[in-house]
Copies of this chain bind each other. A is one copy, B any other.
Amino acid sequence: MSSSGERAGDRSIPAGTAADGPVARLKSLDNEAVLLEHIAASISWDQETYMPQRAVDERAQQQALLQSLAHERKTAPEVGELLAAAGVDPSSQDREVPAALVDTLGEVDAAFLREKRRQFQQSTRIPARLVRELAETGSRGQNAWITARKDDDYQQFRPWLEKLIGLSREAADALGHSGERYDALLDQYEPYMTTADVASVFSTLREGLVDLVQRISEAPPVDNSFLNTRFPVEQQEEMSRRVMTALGYDLDRGRLDRSAHPFTTALGAHDVRITTRYDEELLTSSLFSTIHETGHALYELGVGEDLHGTLLAEGTSLGIHESQSRMWENMIGRSRAFWERWMPDLHGVFPRQLGDVSVESFYRAINTVQPSLIRVEADEVTYSLHIILRFELEQQLINDTLSVDDLPEAWNAKMKELLGIVPPRNAEGVLQDVHWSFGAFGYFPTYALGNLYAAQFLKTMEAQLPSIWEDVAAGRTRPILDWLRTRIHRYGKVRSAGELVRGITGTELDPRHFLTYLTTKYGELYSL
């Protein structure tokens, strides 16, 4: 890897990084696992975009084979031996590698060993039987969920949910925790963060948001009726392409395609693709979804070249990932300045539909706040309340203080409490999200953490780039991208979410930045 090679010029090569040393051998095994995962991402992308229908069974076999080959390379006893030989106890509960190693190896290789141990532990601790059972039950649970949602019949999904909660508890216990099972699950998605950390920031967030939503609901509503018309899909795609490339997404290193659900996926360090979906009646859905996915892709594409081909070459946590997508989508993409640049393009592409809509009207329309039932359609203010609801309920499910039988009622009660509305059907309530159906407990909080990280980063960025909003209004977003790249993207997984936040903003994660951002923006919009 070039990281150790570069240092070789400065001083003698540390023992652990010699070409035939344990770190080099670990990197070689790691690189094979990374290549296999990128290949798996490639055929998975194909499955979601272009694969013919009848290929689905064999594609599942191909995926299973790739997963097992990658798993072998992460869990081989040799990995444990090499970690030990490199000076890292493979079974230690420490989060960090010994400080002396950081001095000898430098930050990158020390982080490599830290993450390699973490991966080794996580992938060896869950027994193969449980991995299989989770995968199988997740796959069948997802199918049951699809039908249950379609039929609005929670009972069809209930037994699967119960089984998945049981298996997730087992997995949490296998992964290890100090009494709080949910910690082990959360840590899979937001490494190094605890349930108590999240509960603490969400508590402040909850209070501030409930109050803000209440005040907005008392203000006169915004007119966004001009968005209720038809926007041909071809032109929507044209706008999506213009915007994403203007934001710095390089089509020599990615693609935009269509799929049932928008996603971003890395098929390689120089091949990060995004997808979106188009609905003729929902222009803003495809547009902001594309900007959101562009944010994810720019993060992956900004990882330092010295990390390429290693497990460090990806986003450090789902929360930080989401901070990137949400900063671009909401804080930049839904700003007044952004539309000063882009409204002329919208006028040009949709002259009939939007020709007489001003920047100000459009800005107000795309920032309408309205408590609603469906998380993925929620606005920037109410969104995090949907997450807090899920965070609170899934903790109770995992801790067995809420039964699956009582879940729909608990869901509806919390909707009433947080958003003041109650779903008329479970399909628009407890059955709306896919996550639990494949056993992803501990995932939801990362969405709201993304908002919090983003607002805190933005505050520092505004201080360091004082002309940022004039730049955005003039179409210059490159300074933002450069700022994010040098402080966040290039580090990949070298620095944890907490390290990034402290290093960039000087403090721990503080939800008040997001609340201030919202209060300022929506205070002005709704004349509160």
Binding site for B on A (CB under 8 A): 32, 35-36, 38-39, 42-43, 46, 50-55, 57-59, 61-62, 65-66, 69, 250-255, 257, 267-271, 273, 309
Contact = CB atoms under 8 A, between A and B. Distances in A.
A268 B62 contact: yes
Contacts of A38: 58, 62
A294 to B, nearest CB: 15
A39 B66 contact: yes
A46 B269 CA distance: 16
Nearest to A54: B270
A59 B252 contact: no
B252 A58 contact: no
- Chain B CB count within 10 A is highest, among A43, A57, A273, for A43
Given A39-B43, A54-B252, A58-B270, 11 more contacts: A35-B65, A36-B65, A46-B46, A50-B50, A50-B255, A50-B257, A52-B270, A53-B253, A55-B268, A55-B270, A62-B268
A250 B50 CA distance: 14
A269 B58 contact: yes
Copies in the complex: 2
Contacts of A46: 42, 46
Nearest to A55: B271
Contacts of A53: 252-253
Nearest to A36: B65
- Chain B CB count within 10 A is highest, among A51, A271, A273, for A271
B50 A62 contact: no
A467 to B, nearest CB: 32
B52 A271 contact: yes
Contacts of A61: 35, 309
- Chain B CB count within 10 A is highest, among A46, A59, A255, A268, for A268
A230 B349 CA distance: 29
A273 B54 CA distance: 12
Contacts of A59: 268, 271
Nearest to A269: B58
Given A42-B46, A69-B69, A267 B36 contact: no
A35 B253 CA distance: 27
Contacts of A65: 32, 35-36, 39
Contacts of A55: 253, 267-268, 270-271
Contacts of A62: 35, 38-39, 42, 268
8 contacts: A38-B62, A39-B66, A42-B43, A50-B255, A53-B253, A54-B271, A55-B253, A58-B271
Contacts of A273: 52
Given A42-B43, A65-B35, A58 B255 contact: no
A320 to B, nearest CB: 24
A398 B42 CA distance: 40
A249 to B, nearest CB: 11
A57 B251 CA distance: 16
Q: Which A-B residue pairs are the 9 nearest by beta carbons?
A: A55-B271, A54-B270, A58-B268, A53-B252, A54-B253, A54-B252, A55-B268, A35-B65, A42-B43
A336 to B, nearest CB: 33
A223 B173 CA distance: 80
Contacts of A58: 35, 38, 268-271, 309
Contact of A271 (B32, B51, B255): B51
B52 A255 contact: yes
Contacts of A66: 39
A293 to B, nearest CB: 15
A62 B22 CA distance: 23
Contacts of A270: 52, 54-55, 57-58
A273 B52 CA distance: 9
Given A58-B268, A59-B268, A269-B58, A253 B52 contact: yes
- Chain B CB count within 10 A is highest, among A59, A252, A269, for A59
Contacts of A32: 65
Contacts of A271: 51-52, 54-55, 58-59
Nearest to A65: B35
Contacts of A54: 250, 252-253, 270-271
Contacts of A269: 58
Given A59-B268, A268-B58, A252 B52 contact: yes
A515 B66 CA distance: 50
